[in-house]
A and B are shown apart, each in its own frame.
Chain A
Amino acid sequence: METIKNYFFSDMGVMLERSMRHIFRSMDTIITTTIMPIALMLLFVYVFGGAIQTGTDNYVNYLLPGILLITIANSIGYVSFRLFTDVQRGIFERFHSMPIARSAALWGHVLTSLVSNTISVVVIILVALVMGFRSPAGVLSWLAVAGILALFSLALTWIAAIAGLSAKSLDGAIAIAYPIHLLPLISSAFVPTATMPLAVRVFAENQPVTSIIETIRALLSGQPVGNDIWIALAWCVGIMLVAYVFAMRVYKKRV
């Protein structure tokens, strides 16, 4: 027992290395989680951007927070997909019959999601810088942005874990991604909510993504964050905890 606990982190490191290889060898994953968000950013800045009035002098500054959340949301279907195939192919059974910490296999996937999202987010911020993104934010603000993105990523990862572990088919496992993809589209990611019809505006302003985007936007533009940061944190932590409890319950039942 003692030795198994001592090896928990090195075992998780092996798991992380394994799933990172899966990501780097899957063109599809790289396109969806990095190329697509960049393409979307190019499209909105250079095609639609001229016609969009956001009240900021630089549309890429307005757009970046939303693009970052879309990037994370796009990766979620793949988390479900990887978990589902591990369960289905018997890889989890192999790991669980070995003398390693049982949860290392699951945590390896969670860590992979976090690490791969970090890589995509950094790449996209670099591209945004080339496109003219500038921020007066200091180190603390950047750390706050990183923290919120990490929480958002973890919250979605645990939702994906529920889907990946409980789905009966591959289609079922990745279906979870679609409603999550929709959320940033109906938010303040591309345009201010003020121009939307009432019903859409009420939804957009009260769903989790808008408060997260507004918080990151305020942090990056050096504005006061106001109440949005607490609403954003409450959503992220709340979803993360509930999804974690359910995912663990499914995991224990499944293995």
Chain B
Amino acid sequence: MLNNSIQVKGLQKSYKKLHVLKGVDFEVEKGSIFALLGSNGAGKTTIVKILTTLLKQDSGTASVNGFDVAAKPDDVRQSISLTGQFAAVDEILTGRENLIMIARLRHLKDPHQVTDDLLNRFGLTDAADRGVSTYSGGMRRRLDIAMSLVGKPQIIFLDEPTNGLDPEARIEVWKTVKELANNGTTVLLTTQYLDEAEQLADRIAILHEGKIIANGTLAELKKLFPPAKVEYIEKQPSLEEIFLAIVGKKEEK
């Protein structure tokens, strides 16, 4: 029990007549990456909003870092941070000002030092004093994630972190997420991309029509399917592989 950062039991939520969550159960182990996989409208964002205290469930219980989200929202907020579906960065401020703002709101002792470290870690030092409105999508997302890491929260929620990013930026985000987990942070991420869940997650739960219909490691999920057949097929490179190969070569020069 103590090893679980997140525990969800019988979670239900309706918006007016729309029954979005119909009894969701899952647990996330401390320090692991947990992927909530589902198509658009499956209820992934609703789960994230309930777990980050932005929304109240109709029934069922959820606890984050040992605190009940409904009863002790303030304790939950101390332990988490949220990177929402769209990069929640202040467009008019610079990257540095965005980070300092969050560091001050987290009441850290040395906001400037924390900011410098994060800018450096996310490769944003050169762009630090430029307005965020001039950033590319990938830089914006990186800043967004950096803002979520201010104050070293134990649990991080990433709601579709690579939505709308180009393939290179996507791989950058993946790298960041893996590093987080290596440092002991628990990560819950939602995604509609199967390869993303496959790449990142220790455990994958598939959310479909308001219920978790499968939950396990990639190996376990694979076992749910009939055993692999050996077939000879010609393996064509995917367009993504071609794109990355060409762009990669250009950058090496």
Contacts and interface: CB of A to CB of B under 8 A. Distances in A.
Given A97-B52, A98-B106, A90 B77 contact: no
A97 B77 contact: yes
B200 interface: no
Given A97-B77, A97-B82, A91 B90 contact: yes
A94 B147 contact: yes
B92 A97 contact: no
B101 A90 contact: no
A184 to B, nearest CB: 29
Given A14-B104, A100-B105, A21 B80 contact: no
A149 to B, nearest CB: 27
A99 B77 contact: yes
B182 interface: no
B53 interface: yes
Q: Is the interface of A mostly helix, strand, loop or mixed?
A: helix
Nearest to A22: B92
B88 A18 contact: no
A95 interface: yes
A98 B105 contact: yes
Contacts of A93: 54, 82, 84, 88
B92 A89 contact: no
Interface residues of B, number: 28
A96 interface: yes
Contact of A94 (B82, B97, B131): B82
Interface string A219-247: 00000000000000000000000000000
B107 interface: yes
B93 A89 contact: no
Interface in B81-102: 81-82, 84-93, 97, 101-102
Interface string A9-24: 0110010011001100
B58 interface: no
B78 interface: yes
A21 B92 CA distance: 8
B105 A4 contact: no
A1 B78 CA distance: 11
B74 interface: yes
15 contacts: A4-B74, A11-B105, A14-B104, A14-B105, A22-B92, A89-B91, A90-B84, A90-B85, A90-B87, A90-B88, A95-B105, A97-B54, A98-B77, A99-B106, A100-B105
Q: Which 10 A-B pairs have the closest CB atoms?
A: A90-B88, A97-B82, A99-B77, A94-B88, A97-B52, A90-B84, A99-B78, A14-B104, A22-B92, A91-B88
